[in-house]
Amino acid sequence: MMPTLHFTKKLREGGARRKCGMLLGLKAGVTREKFLEALQNNRLEDLFQRHPVQAGETFFIPARTPHTIGPDMVICEVQQYSDLTYRVYDYGRVDARGKTRELHIEKALAVINFDPKAGGKVTPQPWVKGRENASMNHLAECPYFSVDRLDIDRMAQFKLVEVRPGHSRFQVFVVLSGEGFLSWDDPQGSVPVQAAECWFIPANKSYSIRTEGRISVLTAFVP
């Protein structure tokens, strides 16, 4: 569990297996006492809400919401900057020396949100309509990050403008599928990009994405 805001998007575009899923948020009626009892009896998963997932879906996970990722999933995570993760259950796994990883039960219980309505699947909101060669969907936003998805045929141009005078912003984008070229001006340059790569775009930079077919990109920035 992460005590910071967290967002996840299923990255694998080839289709999820039938049993892929996510445990996100606790069921109604779960209390601290029930949580501890289930943990002691190795039945913690029974208290979670189960969410089946498909390729390309988006989930928003508010701070303090317990969650775990199922098998056979490749995901892209965007989160508030933090190096804290509270682990409450590790499925009995051990390292190469036969030792278990550290758990953080008391710290996690101090911040867990037991509200069953915390987090869930996000419905994309179209931002750009009617463009033949590109579409943009807004996926998630909070005070710490904003995330969009771009689906581009052939070519699209972008410029990172100042949110307000004197406040520039950078952008990070992750290629979800496809391949193409990232180009920029001042000075001019171009590099090939492909699925699963992550690129940093400096503030106030004009750039374009060009592809021979179709490319899908996840973009993230600080609002």
Q: Residue 126, CB half-sphere, CA atoms under 13 Å: how many?
A: 6
Compute the distance between CA of residue 201 and CA of residue 199 in angstroms, rounded to an integer: 7
Q: For residue 196, give the amino acid letter.
A: A
Which burial class, exposed, middle or buried, applies to 144 when counting CB atoms under 10 A from its CB (0-12, 13-18, 19+)? Answer: middle
Among 87, 154, 169, 214, the one annotated catalytic: 87
Summary count for the chain: helices (H), strands (E) = 2, 15
What are the angstrom distances between the C-alpha of 75 and each of 107, 150, 206? 26, 17, 28
Which burial class, exposed, middle or buried, applies to 19 when counting CB atoms under 10 A from its CB (0-12, 13-18, 19+)? Answer: exposed
Does residue 87 carry a catalytic annotation?
yes
Contact 150/124 with Cβ under 8 angstroms?
no
What are the catalytic residues? 87
